[in-house]
Chains A and B, each alone.
Chain A
Protein backbone atom coordinates (compact mmCIF):
# COMPACT_ATOMS: atom_id res chain seq x y z
CA UNK A 1 0.00 0.00 0.00
CA UNK A 2 1.24 3.45 -0.86
CA UNK A 3 1.97 5.54 2.18
CA UNK A 4 1.32 9.22 1.52
CA UNK A 5 3.87 11.61 2.96
CA UNK A 6 3.39 11.67 6.72
CA UNK A 7 4.37 15.29 7.07
CA UNK A 8 1.63 17.70 8.07
CA UNK A 9 1.24 20.49 5.58
CA UNK A 10 0.04 23.81 6.85
CA UNK A 11 -1.78 24.57 3.63
CA UNK A 12 -3.63 21.24 3.71
CA UNK A 13 -7.36 21.37 3.05
CA UNK A 14 -9.73 21.02 5.99
CA UNK A 15 -10.82 17.58 4.91
CA UNK A 16 -9.36 15.04 2.53
CA UNK A 17 -10.83 11.63 1.88
CA UNK A 18 -8.59 9.36 -0.19
CA UNK A 19 -9.75 6.28 -2.09
CA UNK A 20 -12.52 5.49 0.36
CA UNK A 21 -14.04 2.04 -0.07
CA UNK A 22 -16.84 0.42 1.87
CA UNK A 23 -18.59 -2.82 1.09
CA UNK A 24 -21.43 -4.66 2.75
CA UNK A 25 -20.89 -8.34 2.16
CA UNK A 26 -20.23 -8.62 -1.55
CA UNK A 27 -21.78 -5.28 -2.42
CA UNK A 28 -19.40 -2.41 -3.04
CA UNK A 29 -21.35 0.57 -1.72
CA UNK A 30 -18.44 2.98 -2.14
CA UNK A 31 -15.58 1.96 -4.42
CA UNK A 32 -12.59 4.25 -4.13
CA UNK A 33 -13.94 7.77 -3.77
CA UNK A 34 -11.71 10.76 -3.03
CA UNK A 35 -12.75 14.26 -2.15
CA UNK A 36 -11.42 17.37 -0.49
CA UNK A 37 -13.06 20.27 1.23
CA UNK A 38 -11.84 23.69 2.39
CA UNK A 39 -13.11 25.69 5.34
CA UNK A 40 -16.18 27.70 4.39
CA UNK A 41 -16.70 25.65 1.26
CA UNK A 42 -19.84 23.75 0.33
CA UNK A 43 -19.63 20.49 -1.53
CA UNK A 44 -22.81 18.94 -2.86
CA UNK A 45 -22.98 15.22 -3.47
CA UNK A 46 -25.61 14.21 -5.97
CA UNK A 47 -26.53 10.97 -7.61
CA UNK A 48 -29.27 8.42 -7.92
CA UNK A 49 -30.54 6.33 -5.05
CA UNK A 50 -28.00 3.68 -4.22
CA UNK A 51 -25.13 5.64 -5.75
CA UNK A 52 -23.26 5.50 -2.43
CA UNK A 53 -23.78 9.08 -1.23
CA UNK A 54 -25.19 8.15 2.16
CA UNK A 55 -22.62 5.44 2.75
CA UNK A 56 -19.81 7.85 1.96
CA UNK A 57 -20.96 10.48 4.46
CA UNK A 58 -21.70 7.81 7.05
CA UNK A 59 -18.06 6.79 6.82
CA UNK A 60 -17.19 10.39 7.63
CA UNK A 61 -19.66 10.66 10.52
CA UNK A 62 -18.54 7.38 12.04
CA UNK A 63 -21.71 5.40 11.42
CA UNK A 64 -19.82 3.04 9.13
CA UNK A 65 -16.15 2.18 9.48
CA UNK A 66 -14.25 2.41 6.21
CA UNK A 67 -12.75 -0.72 4.68
CA UNK A 68 -10.09 1.02 2.61
CA UNK A 69 -8.72 4.50 2.20
CA UNK A 70 -7.83 7.26 4.61
CA UNK A 71 -9.25 10.45 6.02
CA UNK A 72 -7.19 13.54 6.81
CA UNK A 73 -8.25 16.61 8.72
CA UNK A 74 -6.00 19.62 8.10
CA UNK A 75 -3.41 17.23 6.74
CA UNK A 76 -3.43 15.02 9.83
CA UNK A 77 -4.38 11.38 9.39
CA UNK A 78 -7.44 10.65 11.52
CA UNK A 79 -9.23 7.48 12.43
CA UNK A 80 -13.02 7.58 12.62
CA UNK A 81 -14.49 4.36 13.90
CA UNK A 82 -17.51 5.68 15.78
CA UNK A 83 -19.79 8.68 15.95
CA UNK A 84 -18.11 10.14 18.98
CA UNK A 85 -14.70 10.31 17.32
CA UNK A 86 -16.29 12.05 14.38
CA UNK A 87 -17.90 14.65 16.63
CA UNK A 88 -14.65 15.24 18.47
CA UNK A 89 -13.09 16.18 15.15
CA UNK A 90 -15.77 18.84 14.68
CA UNK A 91 -17.88 16.87 12.21
CA UNK A 92 -21.61 16.92 12.79
CA UNK A 93 -24.45 15.56 10.71
CA UNK A 94 -28.03 16.70 10.44
CA UNK A 95 -30.03 13.87 8.99
CA UNK A 96 -33.51 14.10 7.56
CA UNK A 97 -35.11 12.87 10.77
CA UNK A 98 -33.09 15.57 12.62
CA UNK A 99 -32.69 13.45 15.73
CA UNK A 100 -34.56 15.82 18.00
CA UNK A 101 -36.30 14.89 21.22
CA UNK A 102 -39.76 16.16 20.31
CA UNK A 103 -41.01 16.67 23.84
CA UNK A 104 -38.07 18.89 24.80
CA UNK A 105 -37.93 22.56 23.88
CA UNK A 106 -35.27 24.13 21.70
CA UNK A 107 -32.89 24.71 24.60
CA UNK A 108 -33.36 21.16 25.86
CA UNK A 109 -32.34 19.85 22.46
CA UNK A 110 -29.51 22.28 21.80
CA UNK A 111 -27.88 21.47 25.14
CA UNK A 112 -28.81 17.79 25.29
CA UNK A 113 -25.92 15.84 26.75
CA UNK A 114 -24.01 18.91 27.91
CA UNK A 115 -26.49 20.94 29.89
CA UNK A 116 -25.53 24.11 31.68
CA UNK A 117 -25.63 23.67 35.44
CA UNK A 118 -26.12 25.90 38.40
CA UNK A 119 -25.07 25.11 41.94
CA UNK A 120 -27.75 25.41 44.58
CA UNK A 121 -26.98 24.30 48.13
CA UNK A 122 -23.95 22.43 46.85
CA UNK A 123 -26.00 20.46 44.34
CA UNK A 124 -25.90 20.73 40.58
CA UNK A 125 -29.17 21.67 38.95
CA UNK A 126 -29.98 22.38 35.33
CA UNK A 127 -29.87 26.07 34.59
CA UNK A 128 -32.93 26.14 32.34
CA UNK A 129 -33.13 29.93 32.14
CA UNK A 130 -29.54 30.34 31.00
CA UNK A 131 -29.92 27.50 28.49
CA UNK A 132 -33.06 29.12 27.07
CA UNK A 133 -31.30 32.48 26.71
CA UNK A 134 -28.20 30.92 25.23
CA UNK A 135 -30.18 28.73 22.79
CA UNK A 136 -32.16 31.77 21.66
CA UNK A 137 -28.90 33.64 21.12
CA UNK A 138 -27.29 30.83 19.08
CA UNK A 139 -30.45 30.49 17.01
CA UNK A 140 -30.64 34.22 16.41
CA UNK A 141 -27.00 35.09 15.84
CA UNK A 142 -25.49 31.96 14.36
CA UNK A 143 -28.39 30.20 12.70
CA UNK A 144 -30.36 33.32 11.88
CA UNK A 145 -33.79 32.39 13.13
CA UNK A 146 -35.96 33.78 15.90
CA UNK A 147 -38.40 31.40 17.55
CA UNK A 148 -41.69 32.90 18.61
CA UNK A 149 -41.57 31.01 21.90
CA UNK A 150 -38.26 29.48 22.94
CA UNK A 151 -40.03 27.27 25.52
CA UNK A 152 -42.34 25.41 23.15
CA UNK A 153 -41.65 21.71 22.59
CA UNK A 154 -39.89 21.17 19.26
CA UNK A 155 -42.77 18.84 18.35
CA UNK A 156 -44.85 21.98 17.76
CA UNK A 157 -42.26 23.80 15.62
CA UNK A 158 -42.30 23.94 11.83
CA UNK A 159 -39.96 21.81 9.71
CA UNK A 160 -37.58 24.70 9.12
CA UNK A 161 -37.50 25.70 12.77
CA UNK A 162 -36.84 22.13 13.79
CA UNK A 163 -33.97 21.98 11.34
CA UNK A 164 -32.61 25.23 12.75
CA UNK A 165 -32.69 23.70 16.23
CA UNK A 166 -30.83 20.62 14.99
CA UNK A 167 -28.20 22.85 13.37
CA UNK A 168 -27.90 25.00 16.48
CA UNK A 169 -27.22 21.84 18.43
CA UNK A 170 -24.55 20.84 15.93
CA UNK A 171 -22.93 24.25 16.25
CA UNK A 172 -23.03 24.17 20.02
CA UNK A 173 -22.06 20.53 20.49
CA UNK A 174 -18.55 20.79 19.13
CA UNK A 175 -16.10 23.21 17.66
CA UNK A 176 -18.02 22.71 14.43
CA UNK A 177 -15.83 22.49 11.33
CA UNK A 178 -17.83 20.34 8.94
CA UNK A 179 -21.59 20.08 8.83
CA UNK A 180 -23.04 17.20 6.85
CA UNK A 181 -26.62 17.78 5.74
CA UNK A 182 -28.70 14.97 4.31
CA UNK A 183 -31.51 16.31 2.12
CA UNK A 184 -31.86 19.54 4.10
CA UNK A 185 -34.64 20.97 1.94
CA UNK A 186 -36.58 17.81 1.11
CA UNK A 187 -39.27 18.25 3.75
CA UNK A 188 -39.60 22.04 3.60
CA UNK A 189 -41.96 24.48 1.96
CA UNK A 190 -40.67 27.27 -0.35
CA UNK A 191 -40.37 29.90 2.40
CA UNK A 192 -38.54 27.57 4.74
CA UNK A 193 -36.31 26.34 1.94
CA UNK A 194 -35.25 29.94 1.36
CA UNK A 195 -34.46 30.32 5.04
CA UNK A 196 -32.47 27.10 5.11
CA UNK A 197 -30.43 28.06 2.06
CA UNK A 198 -29.71 31.46 3.63
CA UNK A 199 -28.73 29.69 6.82
CA UNK A 200 -26.29 27.52 4.89
CA UNK A 201 -24.70 30.61 3.31
CA UNK A 202 -24.44 32.06 6.78
CA UNK A 203 -22.62 28.97 8.09
CA UNK A 204 -20.21 29.09 5.14
CA UNK A 205 -19.38 32.71 5.86
CA UNK A 206 -18.43 31.64 9.38
CA UNK A 207 -15.86 29.26 7.92
CA UNK A 208 -17.89 26.11 8.44
CA UNK A 209 -17.59 23.63 5.59
CA UNK A 210 -20.74 21.95 4.32
CA UNK A 211 -21.32 18.62 2.69
CA UNK A 212 -24.83 18.54 1.31
CA UNK A 213 -26.62 15.55 -0.10
CA UNK A 214 -29.57 16.63 -2.18
CA UNK A 215 -31.75 15.57 -5.05
CA UNK A 216 -32.77 19.12 -5.81
CA UNK A 217 -30.30 20.59 -8.30
CA UNK A 218 -31.84 24.07 -8.01
CA UNK A 219 -31.00 24.15 -4.33
CA UNK A 220 -27.62 22.52 -4.94
CA UNK A 221 -26.67 25.24 -7.38
CA UNK A 222 -27.72 27.98 -5.02
CA UNK A 223 -25.47 26.92 -2.18
CA UNK A 224 -22.71 24.56 -3.35
CA UNK A 225 -19.30 25.63 -4.64
CA UNK A 226 -18.64 22.26 -6.20
CA UNK A 227 -20.88 19.38 -7.14
CA UNK A 228 -19.69 15.80 -6.95
CA UNK A 229 -21.69 13.27 -8.94
CA UNK A 230 -21.74 9.69 -7.72
CA UNK A 231 -22.87 6.65 -9.57
CA UNK A 232 -22.58 2.99 -8.56
CA UNK A 233 -20.22 3.75 -5.69
CA UNK A 234 -17.85 5.92 -7.70
CA UNK A 235 -17.36 9.65 -8.06
CA UNK A 236 -17.85 10.09 -11.77
CA UNK A 237 -17.32 13.84 -11.86
CA UNK A 238 -16.70 16.85 -9.69
CA UNK A 239 -17.92 20.04 -11.29
CA UNK A 240 -17.38 23.67 -10.41
CA UNK A 241 -20.67 25.42 -9.96
CA UNK A 242 -19.50 28.54 -11.79
CA UNK A 243 -18.49 26.68 -14.93
CA UNK A 244 -21.04 23.87 -14.98
CA UNK A 245 -24.74 23.88 -15.70
CA UNK A 246 -27.52 21.81 -14.22
CA UNK A 247 -27.72 19.98 -17.53
CA UNK A 248 -24.09 18.94 -17.19
CA UNK A 249 -24.70 17.54 -13.73
CA UNK A 250 -27.88 15.81 -14.80
CA UNK A 251 -26.08 14.20 -17.71
CA UNK A 252 -23.54 12.69 -15.34
CA UNK A 253 -26.21 11.49 -12.94
CA UNK A 254 -28.15 9.62 -15.60
CA UNK A 255 -24.99 8.34 -17.26
CA UNK A 256 -25.45 10.21 -20.54
CA UNK A 257 -21.75 11.04 -20.45
CA UNK A 258 -19.65 7.99 -21.16
CA UNK A 259 -17.15 8.13 -18.33
CA UNK A 260 -15.83 4.61 -18.71
CA UNK A 261 -14.66 5.12 -22.30
CA UNK A 262 -11.62 7.29 -23.00
Chain B
Protein backbone atom coordinates (compact mmCIF):
# COMPACT_ATOMS: atom_id res chain seq x y z
CA UNK B 1 0.00 0.00 0.00
CA UNK B 2 2.73 2.41 1.01
CA UNK B 3 4.75 1.31 -2.00
CA UNK B 4 1.79 1.88 -4.31
CA UNK B 5 1.32 5.35 -2.88
CA UNK B 6 5.01 6.14 -3.30
CA UNK B 7 4.85 4.95 -6.90
CA UNK B 8 1.91 7.21 -7.68
CA UNK B 9 3.59 10.16 -6.00
CA UNK B 10 6.85 9.49 -7.83
CA UNK B 11 5.05 10.16 -11.07
CA UNK B 12 2.83 12.92 -9.77
CA UNK B 13 5.13 15.12 -7.78
CA UNK B 14 8.65 14.39 -6.64
CA UNK B 15 8.44 17.07 -3.97
CA UNK B 16 6.59 14.44 -1.97
CA UNK B 17 9.92 12.80 -1.20
CA UNK B 18 11.72 15.89 0.01
CA UNK B 19 12.96 15.57 3.56
CA UNK B 20 11.02 18.69 4.47
CA UNK B 21 7.81 17.10 3.26
CA UNK B 22 8.50 13.82 5.01
CA UNK B 23 9.01 15.80 8.20
CA UNK B 24 5.66 17.49 7.63
CA UNK B 25 4.08 14.06 7.27
CA UNK B 26 5.66 13.03 10.57
CA UNK B 27 4.48 16.23 12.19
CA UNK B 28 0.92 15.54 11.01
CA UNK B 29 1.13 11.94 12.10
CA UNK B 30 2.31 12.77 15.63
CA UNK B 31 -1.12 13.51 17.12
CA UNK B 32 -2.52 10.36 15.55
CA UNK B 33 0.37 8.25 16.81
CA UNK B 34 -0.41 9.36 20.35
CA UNK B 35 -4.15 8.72 20.02
CA UNK B 36 -3.80 5.50 18.04
CA UNK B 37 -1.61 3.90 20.71
CA UNK B 38 -4.45 4.08 23.25
CA UNK B 39 -7.08 3.32 20.64
CA UNK B 40 -5.24 0.12 19.69
CA UNK B 41 -5.56 -1.16 23.25
CA UNK B 42 -9.22 -0.13 23.53
CA UNK B 43 -10.17 -1.74 20.21
CA UNK B 44 -8.16 -4.87 21.03
CA UNK B 45 -10.27 -5.09 24.19
CA UNK B 46 -13.34 -5.14 21.94
CA UNK B 47 -14.17 -1.54 22.77
CA UNK B 48 -14.23 1.70 20.85
CA UNK B 49 -13.95 5.33 21.85
CA UNK B 50 -15.60 7.92 19.63
CA UNK B 51 -14.98 10.77 22.05
CA UNK B 52 -11.21 11.23 21.74
CA UNK B 53 -11.49 14.34 19.54
CA UNK B 54 -13.72 16.06 22.09
CA UNK B 55 -11.55 14.95 25.00
CA UNK B 56 -8.55 16.49 23.23
CA UNK B 57 -10.48 19.74 22.69
CA UNK B 58 -11.81 19.89 26.26
CA UNK B 59 -8.38 19.19 27.78
CA UNK B 60 -6.77 21.76 25.53
CA UNK B 61 -9.39 24.44 26.26
CA UNK B 62 -9.05 23.92 30.02
CA UNK B 63 -5.25 24.04 29.75
CA UNK B 64 -5.41 27.19 27.61
CA UNK B 65 -7.76 28.95 30.03
CA UNK B 66 -5.59 28.02 32.99
CA UNK B 67 -2.57 29.57 31.24
CA UNK B 68 -4.26 32.64 29.80
CA UNK B 69 -6.92 33.50 32.39
CA UNK B 70 -5.59 32.09 35.66
CA UNK B 71 -1.89 32.43 34.97
CA UNK B 72 -0.94 28.84 35.64
CA UNK B 73 2.57 27.66 35.00
CA UNK B 74 2.60 26.13 31.53
CA UNK B 75 3.92 22.75 32.73
CA UNK B 76 1.31 22.52 35.48
CA UNK B 77 -1.37 23.39 32.95
CA UNK B 78 -0.14 20.65 30.62
CA UNK B 79 -0.26 18.14 33.45
CA UNK B 80 -3.82 19.27 34.17
CA UNK B 81 -4.72 18.71 30.50
CA UNK B 82 -3.57 15.11 30.74
CA UNK B 83 -5.43 14.62 34.01
CA UNK B 84 -8.60 16.04 32.46
CA UNK B 85 -8.15 13.50 29.68
CA UNK B 86 -7.71 10.67 32.18
CA UNK B 87 -10.85 11.82 34.00
CA UNK B 88 -12.83 11.88 30.74
CA UNK B 89 -11.50 8.40 29.95
CA UNK B 90 -12.58 7.06 33.31
CA UNK B 91 -16.05 8.51 32.71
CA UNK B 92 -16.15 6.60 29.40
CA UNK B 93 -14.94 3.43 31.09
CA UNK B 94 -17.46 3.79 33.88
CA UNK B 95 -20.38 4.32 31.50
CA UNK B 96 -19.33 1.38 29.32
CA UNK B 97 -18.74 -1.09 32.14
CA UNK B 98 -20.71 -0.20 35.24
CA UNK B 99 -23.69 1.39 33.48
CA UNK B 100 -23.47 -1.22 30.70
CA UNK B 101 -24.12 1.27 27.94
CA UNK B 102 -22.76 -0.18 24.65
CA UNK B 103 -19.42 1.51 23.89
CA UNK B 104 -20.60 2.97 20.59
CA UNK B 105 -23.57 4.75 22.18
CA UNK B 106 -21.69 5.58 25.36
CA UNK B 107 -18.75 7.33 23.73
CA UNK B 108 -20.90 8.94 21.04
CA UNK B 109 -22.84 10.52 23.91
CA UNK B 110 -19.84 11.49 25.99
CA UNK B 111 -18.41 12.96 22.79
CA UNK B 112 -21.35 15.39 22.86
CA UNK B 113 -20.91 16.01 26.57
CA UNK B 114 -17.18 16.75 26.40
CA UNK B 115 -17.55 18.86 23.26
CA UNK B 116 -20.42 20.72 24.87
CA UNK B 117 -18.39 21.42 28.01
CA UNK B 118 -15.53 22.72 25.87
CA UNK B 119 -17.92 25.03 24.01
CA UNK B 120 -19.42 26.29 27.26
CA UNK B 121 -16.01 26.98 28.78
CA UNK B 122 -14.48 28.66 25.74
CA UNK B 123 -17.69 30.58 25.01
CA UNK B 124 -16.81 30.92 21.35
CA UNK B 125 -13.38 32.38 21.95
CA UNK B 126 -10.14 31.39 20.28
CA UNK B 127 -7.34 31.26 22.81
CA UNK B 128 -3.97 31.99 21.29
CA UNK B 129 -0.32 32.86 21.88
CA UNK B 130 1.07 30.47 24.43
CA UNK B 131 4.41 30.24 26.23
CA UNK B 132 7.38 28.76 24.39
CA UNK B 133 7.45 25.29 25.99
CA UNK B 134 3.98 24.59 24.63
CA UNK B 135 4.69 25.73 21.09
CA UNK B 136 8.06 23.94 21.16
CA UNK B 137 6.24 20.68 21.87
CA UNK B 138 3.67 21.35 19.21
CA UNK B 139 5.73 22.75 16.35
CA UNK B 140 9.35 22.73 17.48
CA UNK B 141 12.08 20.93 15.59
CA UNK B 142 15.09 19.15 16.98
CA UNK B 143 18.19 20.25 15.03
CA UNK B 144 15.81 22.31 12.93
CA UNK B 145 14.63 19.10 11.37
CA UNK B 146 12.94 16.44 13.45
CA UNK B 147 9.56 17.55 14.82
CA UNK B 148 9.39 17.30 18.62
CA UNK B 149 5.79 16.16 18.35
CA UNK B 150 6.80 13.27 16.12
CA UNK B 151 9.36 12.14 18.68
CA UNK B 152 6.63 12.20 21.31
CA UNK B 153 4.37 10.21 18.98
CA UNK B 154 6.99 7.56 18.31
CA UNK B 155 7.79 7.29 22.02
CA UNK B 156 4.06 6.82 22.66
CA UNK B 157 3.95 3.94 20.19
CA UNK B 158 7.08 2.40 21.73
CA UNK B 159 5.53 2.60 25.19
CA UNK B 160 2.37 1.11 23.71
CA UNK B 161 4.37 -1.76 22.26
CA UNK B 162 5.78 -2.57 25.70
CA UNK B 163 2.35 -2.21 27.32
CA UNK B 164 0.81 -4.51 24.74
CA UNK B 165 3.40 -7.26 24.92
CA UNK B 166 4.83 -7.07 28.40
CA UNK B 167 2.15 -5.90 30.80
CA UNK B 168 -1.17 -7.25 32.07
CA UNK B 169 -2.86 -4.17 30.60
CA UNK B 170 -2.12 -5.34 27.06
CA UNK B 171 -2.40 -9.05 27.76
CA UNK B 172 -5.83 -8.64 29.34
CA UNK B 173 -7.00 -6.39 26.50
CA UNK B 174 -6.27 -9.32 24.17
CA UNK B 175 -7.99 -11.75 26.53
CA UNK B 176 -11.06 -9.57 27.08
CA UNK B 177 -11.38 -8.81 23.40
CA UNK B 178 -10.71 -12.37 22.32
CA UNK B 179 -12.87 -14.23 24.82
CA UNK B 180 -14.50 -12.18 27.55
CA UNK B 181 -16.05 -15.25 29.14
CA UNK B 182 -12.67 -16.99 29.43
CA UNK B 183 -11.13 -13.82 30.87
CA UNK B 184 -13.83 -13.66 33.52
CA UNK B 185 -13.40 -17.33 34.35
CA UNK B 186 -9.69 -16.96 34.97
CA UNK B 187 -10.50 -14.27 37.51
CA UNK B 188 -9.53 -11.21 35.49
CA UNK B 189 -11.38 -8.11 36.64
CA UNK B 190 -12.78 -7.28 33.21
CA UNK B 191 -14.46 -4.03 34.21
CA UNK B 192 -11.40 -2.67 35.92
CA UNK B 193 -9.16 -3.39 32.98
CA UNK B 194 -11.58 -1.92 30.47
CA UNK B 195 -11.68 1.24 32.58
CA UNK B 196 -7.85 1.31 32.61
CA UNK B 197 -7.85 1.11 28.82
CA UNK B 198 -10.23 4.03 28.49
CA UNK B 199 -8.29 6.04 31.08
CA UNK B 200 -5.05 5.53 29.19
CA UNK B 201 -6.68 6.59 25.93
CA UNK B 202 -8.21 9.60 27.70
CA UNK B 203 -4.83 10.68 29.03
CA UNK B 204 -3.35 10.32 25.56
CA UNK B 205 -6.21 12.42 24.17
CA UNK B 206 -5.20 15.08 26.71
CA UNK B 207 -1.65 14.86 25.37
CA UNK B 208 -3.03 15.13 21.84
CA UNK B 209 -4.83 18.29 22.94
CA UNK B 210 -1.49 19.73 24.10
CA UNK B 211 0.14 18.89 20.77
CA UNK B 212 -2.79 20.39 18.88
CA UNK B 213 -2.64 23.63 20.85
CA UNK B 214 1.11 23.87 20.54
CA UNK B 215 1.11 23.28 16.82
CA UNK B 216 -1.46 25.98 16.01
CA UNK B 217 -0.43 28.17 18.94
CA UNK B 218 -4.17 28.59 19.32
CA UNK B 219 -7.11 26.50 20.44
CA UNK B 220 -10.87 26.68 20.19
CA UNK B 221 -13.63 24.42 21.39
CA UNK B 222 -14.35 23.08 17.92
CA UNK B 223 -10.80 21.77 17.45
CA UNK B 224 -10.03 18.15 16.75
CA UNK B 225 -13.32 17.27 15.07
CA UNK B 226 -11.95 14.73 12.62
CA UNK B 227 -9.41 13.16 14.96
CA UNK B 228 -11.54 10.25 16.10
CA UNK B 229 -12.42 8.63 12.79
CA UNK B 230 -8.94 9.16 11.39
CA UNK B 231 -7.43 7.50 14.47
CA UNK B 232 -9.75 4.49 14.33
CA UNK B 233 -9.12 4.11 10.61
CA UNK B 234 -5.36 4.14 11.14
CA UNK B 235 -5.63 1.50 13.86
CA UNK B 236 -7.78 -0.77 11.71
CA UNK B 237 -5.59 -0.26 8.65
CA UNK B 238 -2.71 -1.30 10.92
CA UNK B 239 -4.27 -4.72 11.35
CA UNK B 240 -6.01 -4.43 14.72
CA UNK B 241 -9.30 -6.32 14.55
CA UNK B 242 -12.43 -4.26 15.14
CA UNK B 243 -13.90 -7.41 16.66
CA UNK B 244 -11.29 -7.42 19.41
CA UNK B 245 -8.67 -9.88 20.57
CA UNK B 246 -6.06 -9.05 17.99
CA UNK B 247 -3.98 -5.91 17.82
CA UNK B 248 -0.65 -4.69 16.61
CA UNK B 249 1.28 -1.64 17.81
CA UNK B 250 3.73 -1.78 14.92
CA UNK B 251 0.76 -2.15 12.59
CA UNK B 252 -0.74 0.96 14.14
CA UNK B 253 2.50 2.85 13.51
CA UNK B 254 2.36 1.84 9.85
CA UNK B 255 -1.36 2.61 9.63
CA UNK B 256 -0.94 6.12 11.01
CA UNK B 257 1.99 6.89 8.71
CA UNK B 258 0.12 5.49 5.72
CA UNK B 259 -2.96 7.62 6.30
CA UNK B 260 -0.88 10.73 6.96
CA UNK B 261 0.99 10.12 3.69
CA UNK B 262 -2.29 9.76 1.83
CA UNK B 263 -3.63 13.02 3.24
CA UNK B 264 -0.32 14.73 2.48
CA UNK B 265 -0.37 13.39 -1.07
CA UNK B 266 -3.85 14.78 -1.58
CA UNK B 267 -2.62 18.20 -0.49
CA UNK B 268 0.40 17.95 -2.77
CA UNK B 269 -1.85 17.09 -5.67
CA UNK B 270 -3.66 20.34 -4.96
CA UNK B 271 -6.97 18.67 -4.59
CA UNK B 272 -9.65 21.09 -3.52
CA UNK B 273 -9.98 21.00 0.27
CA UNK B 274 -13.54 19.75 0.24
CA UNK B 275 -12.68 17.05 -2.27
CA UNK B 276 -9.81 16.08 0.00
CA UNK B 277 -12.41 15.15 2.60
CA UNK B 278 -14.26 12.97 0.12
CA UNK B 279 -11.06 11.31 -1.06
CA UNK B 280 -9.79 10.72 2.50
CA UNK B 281 -13.07 9.04 3.44
CA UNK B 282 -13.03 6.82 0.37
CA UNK B 283 -9.40 5.87 0.90
CA UNK B 284 -10.11 4.93 4.49
CA UNK B 285 -12.97 2.66 3.40
CA UNK B 286 -10.84 1.10 0.69
CA UNK B 287 -7.90 0.37 2.94
CA UNK B 288 -10.02 -0.95 5.79
CA UNK B 289 -11.91 -3.20 3.36
CA UNK B 290 -8.59 -4.36 1.95
CA UNK B 291 -7.29 -5.31 5.39
CA UNK B 292 -10.61 -6.83 6.38
CA UNK B 293 -10.29 -9.16 3.39
CA UNK B 294 -6.76 -10.04 4.49
CA UNK B 295 -8.02 -10.81 7.97
CA UNK B 296 -10.97 -12.87 6.79
CA UNK B 297 -11.00 -15.92 9.07
CA UNK B 298 -11.72 -18.18 6.10
CA UNK B 299 -8.32 -17.32 4.68
CA UNK B 300 -6.67 -17.44 8.09
CA UNK B 301 -5.85 -13.75 7.90
CA UNK B 302 -2.64 -12.25 6.63
CA UNK B 303 -0.49 -14.82 8.37
CA UNK B 304 -2.62 -17.62 6.94
CA UNK B 305 -2.24 -16.26 3.43
CA UNK B 306 1.50 -15.89 3.87
CA UNK B 307 1.80 -19.40 5.22
CA UNK B 308 -0.20 -20.80 2.36
CA UNK B 309 1.92 -18.89 -0.12
CA UNK B 310 5.03 -20.31 1.51
CA UNK B 311 3.83 -23.89 1.70
CA UNK B 312 2.60 -23.62 -1.90
CA UNK B 313 6.10 -22.82 -3.00
CA UNK B 314 7.88 -25.52 -1.06
CB contact between B182 and one of A84, A99, A114 (< 8 Å): that residue:
A99
Interchain CB contact under 8 A, A83 and B245: no
The smallest C-beta distance from A141 to any residue of chain B, in angstroms, reads 22
Please state if B167 and A113 are interface contacts (CB–CB under 8 Å): no
Which chain A residues lie closer than 8 Å to B166 at the CB level?
125-126, 128
Q: Counting CB contacts under 8 A, is B261 at the interface? A: no
User: 1/0 per position for B159-188, CB-CB distance to A under 8 A?
Assistant: 000100111100100110011011101111
Q: Is the beta-carbon distance between A101 and B187 smaller than 8 angstroms?
A: no
Q: Which residue of chain B has the shortest Cβ distance to A109 in the bound complex? A: B182
CA A82 to CA B183, docked complex, whole Å: 15
Q: Is B194 an interface residue (CB 8 A)?
A: no
Chain A residues whose C-beta falls within 8 Å of the C-beta of B171 in the assembled complex: 104, 108, 112, 115, 126
A85 to B286, CA, bound (A): 50
Residues of B within 8 A of A125 (CB): 162, 166-167
Q: Which residues between 106 and 144 of chain B lie within 8 Å of chain A, taking CB atoms? A: none
The answer to whether A128 and B165 have CB atoms under 8 Å apart is: yes
Do B182 and A100 have beta carbons less than 8 Å apart?
yes
CB neighbours (8 Å) of B245 from chain A are 101-103
Asked if B215 is at the interface (CB within 8 A of a chain A CB), the reply is no
A101-B174 in contact (CB<8A): yes
Interface assignment of A173: CB less than 8 Å from any CB of chain B = yes
Q: Does B246 contact A (CB under 8 A)?
A: yes
Name A75-102 residues within 8 Å CB distance of B.
83-84, 87, 99-102
Q: Residue on B with the closest CB to A169?
A: B186
A124 to B167, CA, bound (A): 7
Selected from A87, A115, A169, the residue in CB contact (under 8 A) with B168 is A115
Interface mask (B20-63 → A, CB under 8 Å = 1, otherwise 0)? 00000000000000000000000000000000000000000000
Instruction: Tell me the nearest residue of chain A to B179, going by C-beta.
Output: A101
CA distance A124 to B187 in the complex (A): 19
Residues in chain B near residue A126, CB distance under 8 A: 165-168, 171
B185 touches A103 (CB 8 A): no
Q: How far is the CB of B135 from chain A (nearest CB, A)?
A: 32
> Cβ of A102 and Cβ of B188 under 8 Å apart?
no
A49 and B174 alpha carbons, distance in the complex (Å): 35
Q: Are the C-beta atoms of A100 and B167 separated by less than 8 Å?
A: no
A114 partner residues in chain B, CB cutoff 8 A: 186-187
A102 and B168 within 8 A (CB): no
B178 near A99: Cβ-Cβ < 8 Å: no
In the bound complex, how far is the Cα of B185 from the Cα of A87, in angstroms? Answer: 9
**Which residue in chain B gives the minimum CB-CB distance to A126?**
B166
Q: Which of A83, A87, A112, A156 has the most CB of B within 10 A?
A: A112
- A124 to B166 alpha-carbon distance, docked (Å): 9
Bound-state Cα–Cα, A124 to B181, Å: 26
Closest B residue to A117 using CB positions = B168
Determine the distance from Cα of A99 to Cα of B187 in the docked complex, in whole angstroms: 13
User: In the complex, are the beta carbons of A103 and B182 less than 8 A apart?
Assistant: no
Q: B56-102: which residues lie under 8 A (CB-CB) from chain A?
A: none
Q: A83 — which chain B residues lie within 8 A by C-beta? A: 185
In contact, A103 and B186 (Cβ under 8 angstroms): no
A165 to chain B, nearest CB (A): 12
B2 CB, min distance to chain A CBs, angstroms: 25
Contacts of B179 in A (CB 8 A): 99-102
Excluding A104-B174, A112-B171, 7 further A-B contacts by CB distance (< 8 Å) are A99-B179, A99-B181, A101-B183, A104-B178, A108-B175, A115-B171, A126-B165
**B contact set with A: CB distance below 8 Å:** 162, 165-168, 171, 174-175, 178-179, 181-183, 185-188, 245-246, 300
Leading 4 A-B pairs by shortest Cβ distance: A113-B186, A101-B178, A99-B182, A125-B166
